[in-house]
Amino acid sequence: MAGELKTGKDDRIFRAQGPGFAIALLALIVVSGTLEYHWLEGRSVWQAFYITVLAITTVEAPRASTLPGQIFTVFLLVSGVGAALYTFTLLATVVVEGGLPEGLERRRHQRMLEGIKDHFIVCGYGRIGSIVADRLLRQRVPVVVVDRDPERLHAAMEQGALAVDGDASREDVLKRVGIDRARGLIAVVGTDAENVYAVLSARVLRPDLFIVGRAETEDATIKLKRAGADRVISPYQIGAFQIAQTALRPAVVDFVELATSTDNLELAMEEIPIAASSVLANQSIIEANLRQRYGVIVVGIQRHDRRMEFNPEPNTAIRAGDKLVVLGRPNPLKELEAEAGG
């Protein structure tokens, strides 16, 4: 299954020697036989087609009345019967061995890759990559996984993601997974060097793409930012910080986990982008009346220049391009998001 999405040499061989080639060869012989009997014997097109089919299926040998027609009949019996047997044998083999279903499945996945958009490309499906993909899929965000391990690719597809066997640092692979239509890219490959190359390749192809990279060292963090990552995450630093916070402020940690958990149906924390066409643009928080209308709490406002204002005052202005960090119930948050999007 993992190799089903490979394109290139394997697909070219499949097309050149597979059922498509055999059927095309048989069709060519049928058409040639029909035209030749029509011209040499003066038969109607239907009669010419009929006796050609009889010949290549060995049901009945045509009786030609002219010498050229007899010569062509011999040629047709030899080549046509051979082509028919080759075609039927190949089709039977493909069906029995499962090649046809696999070919159809490969093409179905390719069509899905060509049509996917607003998705995240997850480079690497190890311990961290699998968790990242699971979180995104729980939020109903489409995911394409890029990895070179067949077992990992199979696991990703079972989880509900599309998966491609390839090197995430190669531009042709990134184009294949629809980087031009992607919402973002997350580089969590096995090593820092691979992540740097993946981020660099993605940034070259999409200067405006949101990219998150994983770093194991401080030096890798610097290199990932220079390569073009918008955010760089160090699992070790975050893990250590989480442990310290849990020891010092367990109630605060419990609240944050409750607000950011994808399984929580009662409370959620979201960022709401404000579009220029939204009625919320250029209003203050108190004028927008968000607390009374949607029951949400504005925790902070991230300005267009990425400057964050925590716990803003009621008279703080909401501008187009800002992002509201709000806390509330999921359904009212969706209504607020629709209004903020204009």
Q: In sequence order, what DSSP letters do the residues of 309-341 get, joined into one string?
A: EES--TTPEE-TT-EEEEEE-HHHHHHHHHHHT
Question: Taking a C-beta distance cutoff of 8 angstroms, is the pair 134, 106 a contact?
Answer: no
Listed residue (236, 193, 233, 241) closest to 212, CA to CA? 233
Instruction: Give ranges for CATH 3.40.50.720 in the chain.
Output: 117-238
Radius of gyration of the chain (CA): 31
| CA nearest to 133, candidates 167, 176, 162 | 162
Nearest Cα neighbor of 26 from 93, 94, 81 is 81
pLDDT tens-place string over residues 269-327? 888 999 999 999 999 999 999 888 998 989 999 998 888 998 899 899 999 999 999 98
The predicted-structure confidence for 121-147, as pLDDT tens digits, reads as follows 999 999 999 999 999 998 889 999 999
Q: What secondary structure letter does DSSP report for 231?
A: E
Q: Give the DSSP H/E element, type plus range, for residue 163.
A: strand 162-165
> Phi first, then psi: what are they for 206, rounded to 5°?
-135, 90
Q: State the amino acid at position 219 in one-letter form.
A: D
| Poorest-pLDDT segment among 240-244, 258-262, 274-278 | 258-262
Q: Is residue 201 over pLDDT 70?
A: yes
218 within 8 A of 154, measured Cβ to Cβ = no
Answer yes or no: are the C-beta atoms of 132 and 186 closer than 8 Å: yes
Q: Which residue has the tokens 């405006």?
A: 208
User: How confident is residue 230, by pLDDT bands cut at 50, 70 and 90?
Assistant: very high
More confident residue, 95 or 177: 177
Could you give the residue range(s) of every CATH 3.30.70.1450 domain in the chain? Answer: 265-340
Domain with CATH 1.10.287.70 in the chain: 2-103
Q: For 147-167, what is the mean pLDDT?
A: 92
Residue 57 Cα to chain centre, angstroms: 45
- pLDDT above 90 for 4: no
Task: State how far the alpha carbon of 313 is from the alpha carbons of 33, 283, 285, 298, in Å.
Answer: 86, 13, 8, 10
Angle between helices 67-97 and 99-115 (to 10 degrees): 80
Q: For position 61, what pLDDT does the model report?
A: 56
CATH number at 265-340 = 3.30.70.1450
Alpha-carbon span 173 to 106, nearest angstrom: 16
Q: What is the CATH code of the structural domain delimited by 2-103?
A: 1.10.287.70
Name the burial class of residue 129, with classes exposed (0-12), middle (13-18) and buried (19+) by CB atoms within 10 angstroms of its CB.
buried
What are the angstrom distances between the C-alpha of 301 and each of 26, 179, 283, 295, 312?
68, 29, 13, 17, 7
Contact by Cβ (8 Å): 150, 2: yes
**Domain 117-238: CATH class, spelled out:** alpha beta
